[in-house]
Structure 1
Amino acid sequence: MTNAQEPTARWSAPRRLQLPMWLYPLVGVTAVLVGLLPWFRRGLRLPVQNLWAGELPGTMPFALLPLNQYYLTAILGLMVTAGLLAGLVVHAAPAKERSRATALTALGVSIGYLGAGLQSGWVLAHGLQESTLARAYLAFVIGWTVVSAFGGLIVLGLLGRGRRGGVPLAVALAAPALGAWAAMLISPSPATATPFAWDAVEILRWLPAVAVGVALGWCGARTVGRLGAWMLSLVLLYVLPGVLTAISSAAGYRVAGDPSELIAAGLDALSAALAPDVAGPPVLVAVSIAIVGAIIEAVLAWRRSKQPRAPRPAAGEQ
């Protein structure tokens, strides 16, 4: 006998993404391939190198990563965005399976990172001059690639933990890389970019702020831990783009043989990038979106708490 009191629907938790465990390493590898999409659009050719041995070829060799001191932001974008995409899939897994899913996905991501890094590093190493400066340059570019890969794995791990407060932190860590990735996807080469692409790239400079704001709004601010996540995420949104700008400016500085000049150039770029009129507006946009999102999340939570549950059937009732 069915219960007659069914007009009021019972609230059910959001459905989780249930995947077979063997599929998660493939999710990781696929995330790396998606992360490399902007570079696929660019043509997968190693950027022109200042320290190339002999005459530069008409077409640079095939490379899965743009290993070059002028492409540090691009490398970070390709690697960290892959970790972010993989982490979002893992975060959607059922809680009891999330730990294993995270480990298996991280394995797939690491395999993808390793394959791309080894192939590109081998091509670069075999094309550079035999000099101390070239070896130092190779070590620096490979080191930056390793740091970028670890950044992607950290983002994946934060999302894989499943805690609400970890999501905005992961998004804030990945936000500058995500913005660079999206801009490169729309406009792989500035030399051939259309006016529409330039306009789209200009709009995409707000993508990190929007992403962080949405993540904070989804997280909500109803506990001390989540409030802490808000503060730290906004600090990261303010600081990280400036740090990335400073590193890129120093790495691309022409007077590479003078460390003091490199440091001075980096500090000047950092000071300019952290000015309130430069770093402040994205934070204000993120806060505005986050407040609206948090209000919506709180209202939905209140409605869920007030919604009557369907009575359980009595013993023996079918």
Structure 2
Amino acid sequence: MSHAEIATERTDESEKRPRGAASSAALGLLIGILAAALGLVPWWISGARLPLQNLWATQVMPGQMPLALLPRSQYEVLTIVALLTTGGAAAGFAIRVWSPVRRRLVTWCAIVGLLLVQVAATVQSFELLGQGLMRGTLAQYYRAGLMAGVICSILAAVVALLLIASKSTVATTIGGGLMAVPFTSWAVEWVVGVVGHTNVPIAVPSIAHWLPAIVVGCALAWCGVRPLGRLAVWVLNLAFLWVIPAVFTAVQSVLGTRVIAGDIPEMVLMGREVLTAALGPDGGAVPTVLLALALGLAGVGIRVIAARRVHSTT
């Protein structure tokens, strides 16, 4: 090959690299945008009406509330967490399955796309909330509290994306454990959005109770136990399955009551009591943790048997 041909080939390669990088960046951005939208779809198909507000300036019917891209209400805090974090997890899962060559570039572009949608939804819904709430210090505290919750949820969505998109099996498994409960809440919102609050099938609450354990069990089976250091991931994910539902229950109980609304010491005390009860032996976490453990061990056993059969045939 002549020097001229070598120079031409190098020039062609250098031209392809920017194009390939631009294409990967565009796909990453698209993944983030679509995943963020997917996370918000259950709320959108439910009608996307801003929930009734205790501090609304005027008396209105539910159907007269404005359309909001996020459900701004203290009663919908856990729904917001589920909608936003599931979007991040979906983007991470897409990158994990795709496994692009420029993984870091795609991941950061996906984060940008995710933030574009989620920040836009946050701004739009808070603008509506600010226009409709009554004036006063209490309303300002209310908006600030909701804003803090949304910001934390968006940050959690980014963390979920990074963990699940990672090349590391350990990181992805941890991300799956963290997302088991929010994903279940998101799935329930899908059902509610499709059939309505009054037509939810009786089996849905029971399925929602066990679904996080199934998700965690499948993640543990995929992770495996070798090297033995991965047993720490098993302990961590089972702890997530024990603690996260209890935290969700405590938060929902505190924010869902009007009796002590605004009384911070009483709200903290109530939250502590509910959390302690939910973490206790009567809280219902033991059966779900045992189910996840059993599924994980069964999955590992199946993988070992399958590997031995493949080895014996070869």
**TM-score for the superposition, normalised by structure 1:** 0.85
SS in 2 for 1:52: coil
Whether contact under 8 Å (1:95, 1:162) holds in the other structure is no
Tell which deviates more after alignment, 242-251 or 77-86: 242-251
Tell which deviates more after alignment, 232-241 or 299-308: 299-308
Which of 51, 57, 60 aligns to 1:56? It is: 60
Deviation at 1:44, TM superposition (A): 0.7
Deviation at 1:224, TM superposition (A): 3.0
Tell which deviates more after alignment, 25-34 or 249-258: 249-258
SS in 1 for 2:217: helix
CA distance in 2, matches of 1:198, 1:119: 35
The one-letter amino acid paired with 1:37 is V
The alignment status of 1:73 with 2:102, answered yes or no, reads: no
Q: Deviations over 1:215-242 (max 9, x none)?
A: 1101101113311111111111100111
Q: Deviations over 1:227-269 (max 9, x none)?
A: 1111111111100111121122222232123222101111121
The alignment status of 1:36 with 2:40, answered yes or no, reads: yes
Please give the residue correspondences for 1:211-226 in structure 2 after superposition, counting only pairs within 5 Å.
211-226=215-230
Change (3 A) 1:267 1:33: same
Deviation at 1:191, TM superposition (A): 6.9
The alignment status of 1:208 with 2:206, answered yes or no, reads: no
Which residue number corresponds to residue 251 of structure 1? 255
Deviation at 1:204, TM superposition (A): 2.2
CA distance in 2, matches of 1:107, 1:306: 48
Whether contact under 8 Å (2:92, 2:160) holds in the other structure is yes
Please give the residue correspondences for 1:155-234 in structure 2 after superposition, counting only pairs within 5 Å.
155-188=160-193, 192-194=197-199, 197-234=201-238
Whether contact under 8 Å (2:46, 2:196) holds in the other structure is no
Give the fraction of aligned pairs with identical amino acids, expressed as a percent. Answer: 35
Tell which deviates more after alignment, 62-71 or 197-206: 197-206
Which residue number corresponds to residue 287 of structure 1? 293
CA distance in 1, matches of 2:296, 2:116: 35
**Unmatched runs of 5 consecutive residues or more in structure 2:** 1-21
The one-letter amino acid paired with 1:243 is V
CA distance in 2, matches of 1:175, 1:97: 28
Q: Deviations over 1:62-96 (max 9, x none)?
A: 10110100001111110111111111111123364
Q: Deviations over 1:186-219 (max 9, x none)?
A: 1239974326x23223212211111111011011
Change (3 A) 1:145 1:97: same
The alignment status of 1:114 with 2:119, answered yes or no, reads: yes
The one-letter amino acid paired with 2:106 is A
Change (3 A) 1:191 1:93: closer
Q: Deviations over 1:31-85 (max 9, x none)?
A: 1111112102210110000001122355100101101000011111101111111
The one-letter amino acid paired with 1:287 is L
SS in 2 for 1:165: helix
CA distance in 2, matches of 1:279, 1:151: 23
Whether contact under 8 Å (1:173, 1:236) holds in the other structure is yes
Deviation at 1:304, TM superposition (A): 5.6
The one-letter amino acid paired with 1:148 is S
The alignment status of 1:271 with 2:260, answered yes or no, reads: no
C-alpha RMSD of matched pairs (Å): 2.1
SS in 1 for 2:261: coil
Which of 26, 34, 41 aligns to 2:30? It is: 26
**TM-score for the superposition, normalised by structure 2:** 0.86
Compare relative contact order (CA 8 Å, sep 6+) and give the higher one, 1 or 2: 1
SS in 1 for 2:80: helix
CA distance in 1, matches of 2:145, 2:313: 58
Which of 96, 99, 102 aligns to 1:94? It is: 99
The number of residue pairs the alignment matches comes to 289
Deviation at 1:149, TM superposition (A): 1.1
Whether contact under 8 Å (1:31, 1:86) holds in the other structure is yes
Which residue number corresponds to residue 261 of structure 1? 266
**Unmatched runs of 5 consecutive residues or more in structure 1:** 1-18, 309-318
Give the number of the structure whose residues are more often helix, by fraction.
2
